[in-house]
Amino acid sequence: MGKDKKYFLDEKPEKLTYGGVFRRINDWARARSLWVVAYGTGCGSIELRPTFTSRFDAERLGMRMVATPRQADVLIISGYLTVKTLKRVIRVYEQMQSPKYVVALGACPINGGMYYDSYNAINRLDLYLPVDVWITGCMPRPEAILAGFKRLQELIDSGRADGWKKYIDNLDRYRENQKKIIKNWKMPNYNW
Amino acid sequence: MSKEEVRLFIGPQHPGVTGNMSVEVLLRGDTITWARTHIGYLHRGFEKLMERKIFIKSFPLVCRICVPEPDTNEENFARGLEELAGIEIPERAKWIRTLVLELSRLQMFIMWYGGIAGSMGLSTPVQWGIGDRDYILDLFEELTGGRIYHIYIMPGGVRKDLPEGFEERVLKVMDMVERRLPEYDEIIMENAVVQKRLKGLAKIPKEWVDEMGLTGPVARACGFPYDVRKDHPYEAYPHLDFDVITEDGCDAWSMLLVRRREIDLSIDLIRQIIEKMPRGEFLAPLPNVLYWKIPPGETYVKSESTRGEYGFYVVTDGSDKPRRVHVNGPSFVHGITLLERLLVGQNIADVAPIMVSLQTCPPEMER
Amino acid sequence: MEVLNRLREKFEITGDKVQRDDLALVETTGKDLIPVLVYLKTYEGFKTLVMISCVDWMEKGKFQLSYNLWNPEKKKNIIVKIFLDRENPVFQTIYKIWPQAEVYEREIHEMFGVNFEGNPTQDEELILEDWEEIPPMRRDFNTLRYSMEKFGEREPKSGIIIRKQISEQYDEWRRK
Amino acid sequence: MGLKEVLKPLGAWRQIARKPHTILVPRTPREAAERYRGFHVNDLEKCIGCGTCAAVCPNEAIDMVPVEGIEPRKGDSGFRPRIDYGRCCWCGLCVDSCPTTSLRMTNEYIWVRETPDDFVYIPGYDIKGFEEKEKGYRKEKDHSFTHYQRVPMRELPPEERVESFAEVVLGYAEEEARREADRCVGCGLCIAGCPDRMHIPDYIRAIASGEYARSVNIMYENNPFAELCGKVCTRRCESYCSLGHEGDPVAIRWLKRFATERFSDLKEVIKVRKAEAKDRSVGIIGAGPGGLTAAYYLALRGYKVTVYEAMPEPGGMTMAGIPKYRFPFPSLKKQVDFILSQGVELKLNYYVDPEKFRELMDRHDAIYIGVGLMKPWTLGVPGEDHPNVIYAIDFLRKVNFNEPVEIGKKVVVIGGGDVAMDAARVSRRLKAEVIVAYRRRKVDMPADHEEIEGAEEEGVEIWEKIIPIRVEDAPEGKVKLVYGKAKMVDQGPGRRPKPVLIEGEEYELVVDRIIVAIGQQADLSFLPEDVAEKIETERGRIKVNHRQMTSYPGIFAGGDVANRVADAISAIADGLRAVKGIELYFQGEVD
């Protein structure tokens, strides 16, 4: 089981704390350069493509897709999350570097949406991951997604987007919820 | 060449794979010696959920089975139920459905056309493809009230008539797309990188087509004129004039050619539909949908999606809910059986172009 | 379709129906299924296996397996179906006739618990991961209850009365 | 492949000179399309809380919740839909199935929050700022899943109708009935409108699925006169039908008629569960629908029941008052026979007077009075005692019992209720020329509009705003009605205008008979004085509590003599309620 430690957080990481003007400047800069990890977890990713390409062009707001979680600031949960994906999403989230933000798209992460009765899709995302901004819609249009990002930028700018801090503080609680539905914490040999 | 084999996992969080799925490969050097597709990241159990919903409530569900091209699902399921319940739909509804299907195919192909270039690291066509597709989505929004999920085709016909002046706007967008296509060709078809990488890539033995049940552009790229629109004409396709597109290269380049010609065909078909569309009623009277019971029976209905033959196997038992709905998407065979065999011997860098060429769509594999 | 007549002569056909011009349904027994499939593939031109599906007839205690074949020349579909005992659902694999049957069978094994003898990969997980309940597509699996127990439901806070009370109250009012 | 392929893609640089097509959201907001399926709004005034949206929602996103300021009333459940945007999928099925078209969608689509608990709202009640938006997805009435058009009922043509007393309404064929029954959305708002609280959606659904016997059994759970109601009910339920707001209400009455008429022998169809015999007995005065209903359910509960009827046939007003073209005699006999077959004793030609009433009080443990209103109201004008002035209920009774009745060639019917219409249409069948004179306007007539239309089709003339002044003798055995015209005086909002005689104008009308049909009153002279003193009355009717008991313990009353509505279904409801009351009374619960 020692191997598991490499996959997921097993203890609370240290929180970087710094304050004053530095934090203010950091927040200001961060809000204007959000890199989104390119992981389409659900059907909402179909609207992320127009958002990040020429028609809606999120890049003019400082946002772009990056391939690896280690460079990313934002994780988009695009719609429903199956149990199998949730495990990977937690892993992706824990690989991301703080400060990091989660945006939930669509009705499904809020209360199950279309798949409230599905045996393989979770109903409430906030039990497992700290979400900063919720955008409802099925799917949210690119305009709504951009409005959500604008809200996220405001939150970051004013220092209120602290979901990642919550995750560190309440890691036990989140882990407990996660363990309720994910029994096997070893990654299967086909992806780690 | 190294003797040691390396196990590599591509996906599910990987920008090269088509959607939320993963491919596990064994590599010797950078050559793949064994491959295995892993799916299930998007499994929501549609078939189970439909079994516990009355028929009308399944319609918001079915369109979510394939996200980029939802109308095929709606049309198929509606046609299956109509067949089992013995409902005749009005002539205009058939034509509107055909129009929606073709528009849907067109937007998917345009996005794909950019996407195949994207899989080889060319990012301009991706921006173009998705950007131009958006104009067709605008048409959908105007017609159906939804950009992605239309929930427009219902048993008995379609939910609303075409809005005023819709035909002209469709033709305008078609003209726009047609004007743009030479520019696409210039940066994709005539690109040395694309030609060099796709020609001879993913060579499919011809005997696999019938044996594995390959369909759609994949089969047509191998010279087999399999097209459900021609073989089992449905909706208004019997009244449309078109030829099945085939290429004979059996490789990714031929698939690209087939799909490129499909774009022209779709534009042509849309123009034909708008020209020939009859006036009249668009929704046949249905029984009260809240209590709609369909007599026992089973049927298999299929239609041509951009990826190939898309089928719904519907079993009813006389109650107000389906006994079983099995959605059989072409990606199930293309993405698992074919892909696993096709990747063997290929270069690791070609995984993404091959997957995009086969147009594997994970949600329709696992439903 | 005249192929039905030939089938009836050669095999034990327990039921058939022409659903459409291009679709026929044939019911046979487990013993005759593979000969029928091989016959259809070799002599009748039904070269392609389109899909394999399973239907749970819980009330009758049966699983129905449907093999859907397609004839590329004549453009016809035929669905051959058999019934298995639901208590002990075992059947032979046909992946040696059609390679893609392997994955279909693997899915049916995972979703319904039907065993396909000789299928090399059927015990590998295809879609589900760490599944502990009965196979989910069986009709006695209650997906809503499972979802509510495992994933929970948000209790609406802005509402005046929560969901269940309302529906009860509403029902009561309607009965009055 | 050569240099060309390498250089050609560089042509994309051409694009740099073109105008970008980027939409600059959020700086410049973009409006969604005309029929975009965005967030919901609900017209709370128009909404009736029928719950069809909640029933059709695929995700159980819609709950019906009570809303402050909206009280439940007949035809409105008082609930309003609350939508959970953590469940909704914006499919618009709720909009498409809303019977009143109150629910619609706007083209608003941005809803961003920091907490997940902020996505539940009651459209129309929680103000979100987009309520005024006109664009968005709306229901198209003619092209939706809701069937607003009623399946028309076939009737005899008017020329044939006046020739005989054959039933006017021909009834639905099976296919028509199932089609009509299938329109029902099952909201159940009608139940509150039915005095008897019949399980309307249940039996209509049973008809729609072809289970007619089950349907009739559901009806007989609380109405042993289902066929009677299927033919002549005042069908207040239909006025609360959720489909009636935008289209035709479901033909509940005709469907009931269809289902009950299919069975000629009720004993084979209706499964009764009889309780053990008990040694209490109940006496019922009056074999009308109310009395027989009470008798039926009391008998099923095991009590000894005896019904006393003054007339030679059971049925009360349904026998004596309703013309046979609306309610044929065999149909009544079939239903009454079934009730009697449950062990109900019936004594005909048994006129209860004070002495006999006292006997009954000794003989029975409880008494139910269901005598109805048999005494007509008089016009109160001079000369009314003229022999050619007759009263509608007497006239109808004589016709129904095949007694000789002479009305001549021209009659005037005074009144505007259902009895007046019956009298008029019966007179037409007796080949007389008929004028109906009513003191208010035609729109104010309390009669069923179908009856008014039917009468007019058959050639009945309707005169509005007529106030009789006096009756005079006329030569050749005729009678002269002197009348004045009325003007309608507005009585303020919410009250119907009052007819006031225009002074100084007098008109004359010479006819063979004047038929007075301005209502009936109770005749309580059969009560012994000491009992009558203890029984409270109100405007001539017996006052009862919520269990139909009078202020005299052990004496129950119901039907026209005790309620203000005075129709068959209310009498049946009273009878049913009295059964529960009597049972509780026997168990010692007086209140």
More reliable by pLDDT, C176 or D53: D53
Which of B62, B193, B288, B320 to mutate: most D Cβ within 10 Å? B288
Structure tokens at D80: 């309003």
Say whether pLDDT at B171 is over 90.
yes
How does pLDDT run across B244-288, given as a tens digit for each residue?
A: 999 888 888 999 999 999 999 999 999 999 999 898 888 888 888
CA pair distance D246, B39, nearest whole angstrom:
50
Q: Distance, in angstroms, between A116 CA and closest chain C CA?
A: 7
CA pair distance C78, C99, nearest whole angstrom:
19
Which pairs with CB-CB distance under 8 Å and at least 24 residues apart come from C3-10? C3/C40, C3/C44, C3/C76, C3/C78, C6/C44, C7/C36, C7/C39, C7/C40, C10/C39
Tokens 């060709």 locate to B185
D336 lies in the same domain as D384 = no
For B204, what's the count of Cα atoms within 13 Å in the CB-facing half-sphere? 36
Which residues have a Cβ under 8 Å from the Cβ of D178 and sit 6 or more positions away? D207, D208, D210
Decide if A6 is inside a domain: no
More reliable by pLDDT, C170 or A139: A139
Delimit the domains of chain C by residue range: 2-130
**8-state DSSP, A14:** P
Q: Could you tell me if D104 lies within 8 Å of chain B, comparing CB atoms?
A: no
The predicted model scores a pTM of: 0.88
Say whether pLDDT at B2 is over 70.
no
Tell me the residue range of the domain where D74 lies. 25-146
Say whether pLDDT at D143 is over 70.
yes
Question: How big is the CA angle at D170 (ends D167 and D175), to the nearest 5 degrees?
Answer: 160
How does residue C172 score in pLDDT terms, banded at 50, 70 and 90? low
Query: For the stretch D319-354, what's the b/e string if a residue is b when 16 or more beta carbons lie within 10 angstroms of its beta carbon?
Result: bbbbbbbbbbeebbebbbebbbebbbebeeebebee
What is the residue-wise DSSP string for D236-294?
GGGGG-GGGGTSPPP-HHHHHHHHHHT-S-HHHH----PPPP-S-EEEEE--SHHHHHH
Structure tokens at D442: 């035609």
Say whether pLDDT at C163 is over 70.
no
More reliable by pLDDT, D557 or C176: D557
Q: For D221, phi and psi rounded to 5 degrees?
A: -60, -35
- CB-based contact D527:D357 (threshold 8 Å): yes
CA pair distance C119, B227, nearest whole angstrom:
31
How does pLDDT run across D397-413, given as a tens digit for each residue?
A: 888 888 888 888 889 99
Q: Distance, in angstroms, between C64 CA and closest chain B CA?
A: 11
Which of A41, A51, A84, A87 to mutate: most B Cβ within 10 Å? A84
CA pair distance B283, B96, nearest whole angstrom:
11
Query: Across the interface, which of B24, B130, B363 has its CB nearest the CB of A53?
Result: B130
Q: Distance, in angstroms, between C176 CA and closest chain D CA?
A: 7
What is the residue-wise DSSP string for A110-130?
HH-GGGTT-SSB-S-GGGTS-
Average pLDDT, whole number, for chain A?
Answer: 84
Delimit the domains of chain B by residue range: 5-366
Q: Would you call A50 and B45 a contact, using CB atoms and an 8 Å cutoff?
A: no
Strand partners, D500: D487
D421 lies in the same domain as D357 = no
Strand partners, C68: C51, C79
How does pLDDT run across C86-140, given as a tens digit for each residue?
A: 888 888 888 888 888 888 998 899 889 899 888 888 888 888 888 888 888 888 8
CA pair distance D233, D253, nearest whole angstrom:
7
How does pLDDT run across A52-70, given as a tens digit for each residue?
A: 888 888 888 888 888 888 8
Q: Distance, in angstroms, between D557 CA and closest chain B CA?
A: 42
Comparing alpha-carbon positions, the chain B residue that sits nearest to A87 is B41
CA pair distance D341, C17, nearest whole angstrom:
51
The percentage of residues in chain D with a pLDDT greater than 90, rounded to a whole number, is: 6
Confidence (pLDDT) at B98: 92
How does pLDDT run across D321-352, given as a tens digit for each residue?
A: 888 888 888 888 888 899 988 888 888 888 88
Q: Which of A14-18, B303-307, D370-374 has the lowest mean pLDDT?
A: A14-18
What is the residue-wise DSSP string for D533-581?
HHS-EETTEE---TTSB-SSTTEEE-GGGT-SS-SHHHHHHHHHHHHHH
Question: How big is the CA angle at D141 (ends D140 and D146), to the nearest 5 degrees?
Answer: 115
Which of A37, A39, A41, A43 to mutate: most B Cβ within 10 Å? A43
Q: Distance, in angstroms, between B156 CA and closest chain C CA?
A: 19
D262 lies in the same domain as D234 = yes
Say whether pLDDT at C174 is over 60.
no
Tokens 């993913």 locate to B202
- CB-based contact D308:D283 (threshold 8 Å): yes
Confidence (pLDDT) at B39: 86
Comparing alpha-carbon positions, the chain C residue that sits nearest to B51 is C139
Question: Could you give the number of structural domains in chain D?
Answer: 4
CA pair distance D400, D423, nearest whole angstrom:
11
Which CATH superfamily does the domain covering B5-366 fall into?
Cytochrome-c3 Hydrogenase, chain B (1.10.645.10)
Asked if the bond preceding B12 is cis, omega within 30° of 0, the reply is yes
What is the residue-wise DSSP string for D406-447?
---SEEEEE--SHHHHHHHHHHHHTT-EEEEE-SS-GGG--S
| Of B266, B267, B253, B249, residue with least CA distance to B356 | B253
Question: How big is the CA angle at A59 (ends A56 and A65), to the nearest 5 degrees?
Answer: 105
Confidence (pLDDT) at D169: 86
Decide if A5 is inside a domain: no
Burial label for D403, CB within 10 Å (0-12, 13-18, 19+), is exposed
Decide if D8 is inside a domain: no
How does pLDDT run across D223-241, given as a tens digit for each residue?
A: 888 888 888 888 888 888 8
D251 lies in the same domain as D334 = no
Structure tokens at B16: 């090269």
Average pLDDT, whole number, for chain D?
Answer: 86
CA dihedral D174, D179, D185, D191 (to 10 degrees): -30
CA pair distance B177, D314, nearest whole angstrom:
83
Q: Could you tell me if C62 lies within 8 Å of chain B, comparing CB atoms?
A: no
Find chain B residues with C-beta within 8 A of A46's C-beta.
67-68, 148
Q: H/E/C letters for each residue in chain B?
A: CCCCEEEEEECCCCCCCCCCCEEEEEEECCEEEEEEEECCCCCCCHHHHHHCCCHHHHHHHHCCCCCCCCHHHHHHHHHHHHHHHCCCCCHHHHHHHHHHHHHHHHHHHHHHHHHHHHCCCCCHHHHHHHHHHHHHHHHHHHHHCCCCCCCCEECCEECCCCCCCHHHHHHHHHHHHHHHHHHHHHHCCCCHHHHHHHCCCCCCCCHHHHHHCCCHHHHHHCCCCCCHHHHCCCCCHHHCCCCCCCCCCCCHHHHHHHHHHHHHHHHHHHHHHHHHCCCCCCECCCCCHHHCCCCCEEEEEEEECCCCEEEEEEEECCCCCEEEEEEECCHHHHHHHHHHHHCCCCEHHHHHHHHHHHCCCHHHHHC
| Of D571, D523, D576, residue with least CA distance to D316 | D571
Q: Would you call A124 and C128 a contact, using CB atoms and an 8 Å cutoff?
A: no
**Any alpha helices (H) in C119-162, and if so which ranges?**
143-151
CA pair distance B45, B327, nearest whole angstrom:
11
Tell me the residue range of the domain where A42 lies. 19-180
Q: Which strands sit side by side in the sheet containing D433-437, from one edge to the other?
A: D389-391, D513-516, D410-414, D433-437, D461-463
Structure tokens at C40: 């259809």
Say whether pLDDT at C161 is over 50.
no
Confidence (pLDDT) at B122: 85
* Share of chain A residues as helix, strand and coil, in percent rounded to the nearest 5: 45, 10, 40
Structure tokens at A62: 């400082």
How does pLDDT run across D442-501, given as a tens digit for each residue?
A: 888 888 888 888 888 888 889 988 888 888 888 888 888 888 888 888 887 777 788 888
Comparing alpha-carbon positions, the chain C residue that sits nearest to B226 is C72
At A135, which amino acid appears?
Answer: I
Asked if the bond preceding A99 is cis, omega within 30° of 0, the reply is yes
Comparing alpha-carbon positions, the chain C residue that sits nearest to D86 is C154
Pairs across C and D, CB distance < 8 A:
45
Q: Under CATH, which architecture does the C2-130 domain have?
A: 2-Layer Sandwich (3.30)
D338 lies in the same domain as D299 = yes
Which of B22, B50, B324 to mutate: most C Cβ within 10 Å? B324
Say whether pLDDT at B95 is over 90.
yes
Pairs across B and C, CB distance < 8 A:
94
Structure tokens at C64: 């129905």
Which of C66, C70, C97 to mutate: most B Cβ within 10 Å? C70
Confidence (pLDDT) at D439: 87
Q: Distance, in angstroms, between C74 CA and closest chain D CA?
A: 39
Run of H or E residues at A17: none
Residues belonging to chain B with any Cβ–Cβ distance to chain D shorter than 8 Å:
53, 56-61, 122, 124, 131, 138, 141-142, 144-146, 149, 151, 159-161, 163, 183, 186-188, 190-192, 195-196, 282-283, 285-291, 293
Q: How many CB atoms lie within 10 A of CB A186?
A: 11
Question: Could you give the number of structural domains in chain A?
Answer: 1
Consecutive 10-residue averages of pLDDT for chain A (192 residues): 58 71 85 87 85 88 87 89 88 85 90 87 89 89 90 88 86 87 71 49
Residue D452: CATH number of its domain: 3.50.50.60
Q: How many CB atoms lie within 10 A of CB B345?
A: 11
Tell me the pairing of strands C76-85 and C23-28.
parallel
- Residue B300 vs residues B81, C53, D214: alpha-carbon distances, Å: 10, 11, 36
| Of B91, B129, B97, B96, residue with least CA distance to B113 | B129
Q: Would you call A119 and C129 a contact, using CB atoms and an 8 Å cutoff?
A: no
Q: Could you tell me if D52 lies within 8 Å of chain B, comparing CB atoms?
A: yes
Q: Would you call A54 and D32 a contact, using CB atoms and an 8 Å cutoff?
A: no
Tell me the pairing of strands B309-316 and B322-328.
antiparallel
Find chain C residues with C-beta within 8 A of D188's C-beta.
174
Q: Distance, in angstroms, between C97 CA and closest chain B CA?
A: 8
Confidence (pLDDT) at D590: 59
D502 lies in the same domain as D562 = no
Residues belonging to chain B with any Cβ–Cβ distance to chain A shorter than 8 Å:
7, 9, 11-15, 19-20, 22, 24, 36, 38, 40-45, 48-49, 52, 60-61, 64, 67-68, 111, 126-128, 130-131, 133-134, 137, 147-149, 363
Average pLDDT, whole number, for chain B?
Answer: 89
Q: Could you tell me if C22 lies within 8 Å of chain B, comparing CB atoms?
A: yes
Query: Across the interface, which of C166, C173, C174 has its CB nearest the CB of D63?
Result: C166
Confidence (pLDDT) at C162: 42
Tell me the pairing of strands D498-501 and D513-516.
unpaired
Find chain C residues with C-beta within 8 A of D60's C-beta.
163
Dihedral (CA of B277, B280, B285, B289) sign: positive
**ipTM (interface predicted TM):** 0.87
Q: Distance, in angstroms, between D59 CA and closest chain A CA?
A: 6
Confidence (pLDDT) at C160: 40
Find chain C residues with C-beta within 8 A of A183's C-beta.
130, 132
D407 lies in the same domain as D331 = no
D439 lies in the same domain as D545 = no
Q: Distance, in angstroms, between A135 CA and closest chain D CA?
A: 5
